[in-house]
Every structure is written in C-alpha cells, then in structure tokens.
C-alpha cells in the first residue's frame, strides 16, 4: 500500500515556520474570549501554511 509522503515532509518543515506558528497561536489565545465570533486568525493561519507550502515545494 502506497503512503502519502506529504504529511512527513510537512512535519520536517515545521521547525522553519515556528515564527508563524507562534503568531497564529498567540492570535488564537487573544480571541478565545470573543463572544460574537467576529474576530478570526485567518491571516496568521494562511501565513503559517504558506510557510509550510513554500518549504515543501
């Protein structure tokens, strides 16, 4: 059975993207108390995964 190498490659890239991950996690903590659901961390999320994607490619 063939295995998808993408998850393993992404994991190997995570150390290069720590700054973006910390930024995303800080945002998540900041908005935990948002009761109206208006705040989000979409930008930080895409910054993190953009870093991972750039490393993988």
pLDDT per position as a tens digit, 12-25: 999 999 999 999 99
**Interacting residues of 21 by C-beta distance below 8 A, sequence separation 6+:** 14, 48
Which pLDDT score is estimated for 43? 98
pTM of the model: 0.82
User: Which one has a higher pLDDT value, 47 or 36?
Assistant: 47
Is 3:34 a contact under the CB 8 Å cutoff?
no
pLDDT of residue 36: 83
Per-residue model confidence as pLDDT tens digits over 39-57: 999 999 999 999 999 999 8
């Amino acid at each position: 059975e063939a295995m998808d190498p993408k998850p393993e490659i992404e994991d190997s890239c995570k150390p290069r993207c720590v700054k973006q991950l910390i930024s995303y996690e800080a945002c998540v903590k900041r908005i935990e108390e948002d009761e109206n659901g208006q705040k989000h961390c979409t930008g930080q999320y895409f910054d993190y995964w953009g870093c991972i994607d750039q490393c993988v490619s």
